[in-house]
Structure 1
Amino acid sequence: MDFTELAIVLLFVLFLLLGSGVWVALSLVGVAIVGMALFTDRPIGASMYSTLWTSSTSWTLTALPLFIWMGEILYRTRLSESLFRGLSPWLNWLPGRLMHTNVIGCTLFAAVSGSSAATLTTVGKMSMPELRKRGYPDFMSVGTLAGASTLGLMIPPSLTMIVYGVITNQSIPKLFIAGIIPGLILAALFMGYVVIWDIVKKPGITKEPAMSMKQRLHESRLLIPVALLIITVIGSMYSGLATATEAAALGVVGALLLAAIQRSLTFGSLVESLLGTVKTSCMIALILAGASFLTLAMGFTGLPRGLAEWVGSLDLSPFMLLVALMLVYIVLGCFLDGISAVVLTMAVVTPMLNDAGINLIWFGIFVLVMVEMAQITPPVGFNLFVMKGLTNHSLGFIAKAAAPMFLIMALMAFLLIAFPNLATFLPSYMNEATM
């Protein structure tokens, strides 16, 4: 059986399993078993249990549940309320005014969360009632919040970055640092959209009462805990004082201290945060285990090598290869969550990237933009469903409101292609600084 027939059979099996409602992780294992059974003479059982065990005992993965737990704890604090009160006095002069709290609030919370859904839920519960009370249109509030919350995937610490780093054997701290500049640029683009909307539509939003500088600074004190937590987590890694796992542990301790100071973490909420952490961590770990077995099976079948040779025969330039991959991830994002799309494709994509000489750290940031786009892409964009739960708007309304943010993310992807140093500058500086 040639390469094309092999790919068709395996894709048919994959979509059959996914369409039947089988868990993503078990679907990946199923495809691997079929691939090895039909196209190789390798022992399936021995290969499967050794691969599943090895992938589940990676030291790098210990950072994952710690960052998830940190986000779960912060979700149960009054951090979002503090963010709104601390930011709003400084945004009254900007076109769009308090609409910018969605973007800036998501940016700051993303730096201590690592999860798009947690960022959306936490900031949304705070900002939506306040913006509605002040007469801001729901269309813009919903759109900016759905889009900006995806920064939880880009700005470190990011759970998807950890998954990508484990799959591709890349440094987690380098990936974290690489996401800072693109994440801030993307946040600036979102804010630019709000400014243009205000200038063009002239919604006539009422200004907030004027505050003296002393009053502004007094309200800004509420941002100090967030700033300290960001410095602790990101600064410890960037300075070389801590690994990703150690920084995650520091983040958990900082989150617990913040919750204790605010007196917002009861025994019941602590148990809930632990249960939420276990559920999310187990889901991701199971997907990673299935993806590891699929990667091994694909290597035995020769599919990645065949696909890489086929793409090489097309003589695509690196730019056209990236555009093609971008289209693939956009289509996958319509049907799969971001982590599943990443683990499903990297076994095949990595050889192509290596042959094209594309930096895997850079591609990690590029693919994160694709994952962000998937979060607001119908029919299964996860942020759309979270937003529906927060606002009771229809999925069509939310998707339409988020469409401009989708286009801004596409623009960010092309900016990364045009200016790759946006993602590679800080990691290279980190190398030199820590030699």
Structure 2
Amino acid sequence: MDDLAITGLLVLSLFLILGSGVWIGLTLSGVAWIGMQLFSARPAGEAMAMTIWGSASSWTLTALPLFIWMGEILFRTRLSQDMFKGLAPWVQALPGRLLHTNVIGCTIFAAVSGSSAATCATIGKMTLPELTRRGYPEHMVVGTLAGASTLGLLIPPSIIMIVYGVTAEVSISQLFIAGVLPGILLAALFSGYIVLWALRHPEQVPAADERMAFMQKLAQSRSLIPVLLLIATVLGSIYIGWATATEAAALGVVGALVLSSVQGSLDWRSFRAALMGATRLYCMIALILAGSAFLSLAMGYIGLPRHLAQWIASLELNQAQLIAALALFFVLLGCFLDGISMVVLTMGVLMPTVQAAGIDPLWFGIFIVLVVEMAQITPPVGFNLFVLQGMTGRQLPWISRVALPMFLLMCAAVALIYAFPGIVTWLPQQMSAR
């Protein structure tokens, strides 16, 4: 059979098994087994056992469950309850006022959760009822939350960065450092959009609350200070070089446990809920990673990555055209798959092509995270859209429409990091030079 027929058969098998309701990780393993059994001389069972054991025993991957657990612990503290009260006094003077709490709140919580959906749910529970009660337009409240919550993937520590680092063999610590400036850039674009909208529609912005003195603002924000210190400690230990990503994650778990204990929100019930929540999420991701590792091996034996790279090379695309084509490909793929599945499904096939085109794998990792963020708010399988639908009761087409400006701003961010790659690479280079 030629490559096109083999690819068609495997893709058809993938969608048939997924459509039958089988878990994604098992689906990937099943498709890989079919490919190995039909088109390779190596025994599929032996290859599957070796590959799954190798992916599951990766030391680098130990950072993932620890960061997930840290986020789960802090999710159950009073952080979400106190955050709005702490942020509100500082944004009253900005055009758009309390709408900025969506962006700033998501930026802060992204640094402790690593998950887009968790950021959306946590900040949404806090801001949606409060901003609606105060009279802010619903389309702006929901739209800005949809976009800003995707920062959970870009602001380190990010679950998807760890997954990309493992699958593409890129330093996770370097990825974390590289994500800082693009994360700040994207948050600034979102806040800038709110400012422009407020200047154009001042009549739709409710009146400011009573002015507070500087010390009063600090008093309102005191509950945020321990969390900000924890974030600075965890990420700072990576950036300075004192700790690896795994060691920093362990430090974050200990800090989160201490913080929740001091706040009085740590009891046996919340500890067990956080541990089980982290275990369930990690097991799902680990199963997907194991399946994708086996699928990548099967693809290698069949020769599809090499032939795909040769086909793309025959198109003679320049770097800009290749990046534009990949961005479109990932956004379309995001209409059907979640972000982690997209990364693990494609990296084994795409990385040889990307490296052959002279694209820095570190830069490419941040690019991938940005386009996966875009996919989080594109129907029909935009995870953040589902979260917001459950919280607002609105239909997906309406949520997609109000989130469209945020999607366009993400497109602008991708263009900016391509035009100015130093936005991604400058900070890692400075840290490496020390």
In the other structure, the counterpart of 1:152 is 152
Tell me, yes or no, if structure 1 residue 49 matches structure 2 residue 49: yes
Write out aligned runs for 1:36-435 (5 A): 36-202=36-202, 203-433=204-434
For 1:261-302, what per-residue CA distance to the aligned partner results, in whole angstroms no more than 9, with x for missing partners?
Answer: 111122111111111111100000000000000111111000
How many angstroms does 1:190 deviate by? 0.4
Contact 2:96 / 2:205 at 8 angstroms: preserved in 1?
Answer: no
Letter in 2 for 1:382: F
In the alignment, the residues of structure 2 paired with residue 344 and residue 378 of structure 1 have an alpha-carbon distance, to the nearest angstrom, of 20
Q: Please give the secondary structure, in 2, of the residue aligned with 1:41.
A: coil
- The number of aligned residues is 433
Q: Please give the secondary structure, in 1, of the residue aligned with 2:242.
A: coil
In the alignment, the residues of structure 2 paired with residue 342 and residue 151 of structure 1 have an alpha-carbon distance, to the nearest angstrom, of 17
How many angstroms does 1:428 deviate by? 1.4
In the alignment, the residues of structure 2 paired with residue 209 and residue 254 of structure 1 have an alpha-carbon distance, to the nearest angstrom, of 35
Q: Please give the secondary structure, in 1, of the residue aligned with 2:221.
A: helix
Deviates more, 1:66-75 or 1:34-43: 34-43
For 1:204-255, what per-residue CA distance to the aligned partner results, in whole angstroms no more than 9, with x for missing partners?
Answer: 4111111112212222323211210111110010011111011011111111
In the alignment, the residues of structure 2 paired with residue 223 and residue 274 of structure 1 have an alpha-carbon distance, to the nearest angstrom, of 23
Contact 1:89 / 1:216 at 8 angstroms: preserved in 2?
Answer: yes
In the alignment, the residues of structure 2 paired with residue 82 and residue 181 of structure 1 have an alpha-carbon distance, to the nearest angstrom, of 26
How many angstroms does 1:196 deviate by? 1.3
Contact 2:107 / 2:151 at 8 angstroms: preserved in 1?
Answer: yes
Deviates more, 1:20-29 or 1:279-288: 20-29
For 1:68-122, what per-residue CA distance to the aligned partner results, in whole angstroms no more than 9, with x for missing partners?
Answer: 1111111111112322222111111111000000000100111111111111111
How many angstroms does 1:405 deviate by? 0.9
In the alignment, the residues of structure 2 paired with residue 39 and residue 160 of structure 1 have an alpha-carbon distance, to the nearest angstrom, of 31
Letter in 2 for 1:56: A
How many angstroms does 1:37 deviate by? 1.7
In the alignment, the residues of structure 1 paired with residue 162 and residue 189 of structure 2 have an alpha-carbon distance, to the nearest angstrom, of 25
How many angstroms does 1:342 deviate by? 0.6
Letter in 2 for 1:22: V
For 1:147-170, what per-residue CA distance to the aligned partner results, in whole angstroms no more than 9, with x for missing partners?
Answer: 101101000000000000000111
Letter in 2 for 1:185: L
Letter in 1 for 2:85: R
Contact 1:134 / 1:206 at 8 angstroms: preserved in 2?
Answer: no
Contact 1:88 / 1:98 at 8 angstroms: preserved in 2?
Answer: yes
Letter in 2 for 1:43: P
In the alignment, the residues of structure 2 paired with residue 66 and residue 162 of structure 1 have an alpha-carbon distance, to the nearest angstrom, of 11
For 1:375-434, what per-residue CA distance to the aligned partner results, in whole angstroms no more than 9, with x for missing partners?
Answer: 11111111111112222222222222111111111111111111111111111112111x
Letter in 1 for 2:21: G
Contact 1:28 / 1:291 at 8 angstroms: preserved in 2?
Answer: yes
In the alignment, the residues of structure 2 paired with residue 154 and residue 269 of structure 1 have an alpha-carbon distance, to the nearest angstrom, of 27
In the alignment, the residues of structure 1 paired with residue 349 and residue 205 of structure 2 have an alpha-carbon distance, to the nearest angstrom, of 52
In the alignment, the residues of structure 2 paired with residue 87 and residue 260 of structure 1 have an alpha-carbon distance, to the nearest angstrom, of 23
In the alignment, the residues of structure 1 paired with residue 407 and residue 21 of structure 2 have an alpha-carbon distance, to the nearest angstrom, of 27
In the alignment, the residues of structure 2 paired with residue 317 and residue 61 of structure 1 have an alpha-carbon distance, to the nearest angstrom, of 34
How many angstroms does 1:172 deviate by? 0.6
In the alignment, the residues of structure 2 paired with residue 178 and residue 424 of structure 1 have an alpha-carbon distance, to the nearest angstrom, of 6
In the alignment, the residues of structure 2 paired with residue 220 and residue 30 of structure 1 have an alpha-carbon distance, to the nearest angstrom, of 51
How many angstroms does 1:3 deviate by? 2.2
Contact 1:85 / 1:222 at 8 angstroms: preserved in 2?
Answer: no
Moved over 4 A (4+): none
- Counting aligned pairs with the same residue, the percent is 60
Q: Please give the secondary structure, in 2, of the residue aligned with 1:42.
A: coil
**TM-score, scaled to structure 2:** 0.98
In the alignment, the residues of structure 1 paired with residue 214 and residue 70 of structure 2 have an alpha-carbon distance, to the nearest angstrom, of 33
In the alignment, the residues of structure 2 paired with residue 386 and residue 265 of structure 1 have an alpha-carbon distance, to the nearest angstrom, of 26
Gaps spanning 5+ residues in structure 2: where?
A: none
Letter in 2 for 1:2: D
Contact 2:136 / 2:205 at 8 angstroms: preserved in 1?
Answer: no
Deviates more, 1:171-180 or 1:375-384: 375-384
For 1:347-395, what per-residue CA distance to the aligned partner results, in whole angstroms no more than 9, with x for missing partners?
Answer: 1110100110111111000000111111111111111111122222222
Letter in 2 for 1:424: T
Contact 1:111 / 1:155 at 8 angstroms: preserved in 2?
Answer: yes
Deviates more, 1:150-159 or 1:414-423: 414-423
Q: Please give the secondary structure, in 1, of the residue aligned with 2:195.
A: helix
For 1:18-63, what per-residue CA distance to the aligned partner results, in whole angstroms no more than 9, with x for missing partners?
Answer: 2222211112112211211222111111111000000000001111
Letter in 2 for 1:26: L
Q: Please give the secondary structure, in 1, of the residue aligned with 2:373.
A: helix
In the alignment, the residues of structure 1 paired with residue 44 and residue 128 of structure 2 have an alpha-carbon distance, to the nearest angstrom, of 52
Contact 1:152 / 1:158 at 8 angstroms: preserved in 2?
Answer: yes
For 1:113-146, what per-residue CA distance to the aligned partner results, in whole angstroms no more than 9, with x for missing partners?
Answer: 1111111111111111211221111111111111
* TM-aligned CA distance change 1:204 to 1:431, over 3 Å: closer
For 1:301-331, what per-residue CA distance to the aligned partner results, in whole angstroms no more than 9, with x for missing partners?
Answer: 0000000001111111011111111111001
Deviates more, 1:348-357 or 1:30-39: 30-39
Letter in 2 for 1:93: A
In the alignment, the residues of structure 1 paired with residue 278 and residue 221 of structure 2 have an alpha-carbon distance, to the nearest angstrom, of 31
In the alignment, the residues of structure 2 paired with residue 258 and residue 204 of structure 1 have an alpha-carbon distance, to the nearest angstrom, of 36
Gaps spanning 5+ residues in structure 1: where?
A: none
